[in-house]
Structure 1
C-alpha cells in the first residue's frame, strides 16, 4: 500500500500533521499491510513533523515489523537529512533515559 503524505495532510509543517500521517501508517501496519510512505511533492519538513510521523513509529512499534513492511520514498536530501538527524537524536535521548 502506498500512502502519499500529501493525501493525508495538506502540509508537512507541524507535529499534529505528522501524528496524522503516523496514525495512517500504523493502521495499515496493524492490518498486516506493507507500506510505502511517499513524500512526493514535499520539499522540506521541520523536525517536529519527522519526529511525530516517523521517529515515533520507530520507537513505538516493533523494529522487525517496520524493517520488513515500511519503506519511505520520494524524499529530498533535506528530508533524508532530517530523518537521519531525528532518528539519531531520538536514539540518543532514549539511551540517556534508560
Structure 2
C-alpha cells in the first residue's frame, strides 16, 4: 500500500498534519504487510511532524519491524536527516527510498 502524504494533508508542517499521517500509516500497517509513505512534493518537514507521524509507531511495533514494513519514499536528504534525528542516534530510521 502507498500513502501519498499530500493527498491527505495540505502540507507536512505541523503536529496536526503528522497526527493525520500517523493514523493512516498505523491503520495501513494493521492490514498490510508493507506500507510506503510517499513524501512526493514535500521539500522539508519539522521534527514536530515526524514526532507525530512516525515516532508513535514505536508504541505499537518493535523498531526492527517498523524498519522492515515501512518505507519512506520520495524524501529529500533534509527530510531523511530529520527522520533519523527524531528516531534517535542509536536507532536507524525506516528505509528511505528515492
Query: If the TM-score is normalised by the length of the shorter chain, which range does it land in?
Result: 0.7 to 0.9
Whether 1:2 and 2:2 are equivalent positions in the alignment is yes
Equivalence map 1:1-98=2 (5 Å) = 1-57=1-57, 59-63=58-62, 64-88=64-88
Q: Which runs of 4+ in 1 moved over 6 A?
A: none
Structure 2, unmatched stretches of 5+, are 92-98
Deviation at 1:30, TM superposition (A): 1.1
Give the SS at the match of 1:72.
strand
What RMSD over aligned residues (CA atoms) do the two structures have, in Å? Answer: 1.6
Give the SS at the match of 1:36.
strand
TM-score w.r.t. length of structure 2: 0.82
The separation in 2 between residues aligned to 1:24 and 1:78, in whole angstroms, is 23
- Rg (Cα) greater in structure: 1
Q: Aligned residue pairs: how many?
A: 89
Structure 1, unmatched stretches of 5+, are 92-98
Higher helix proportion:
1
Moved more, 27-36 or 6-15: 27-36
The separation in 1 between residues aligned to 2:86 and 2:37, in whole angstroms, is 17
Deviation at 1:65, TM superposition (A): 3.5
Q: Which residue of 2 aligns with 1:95?
A: none
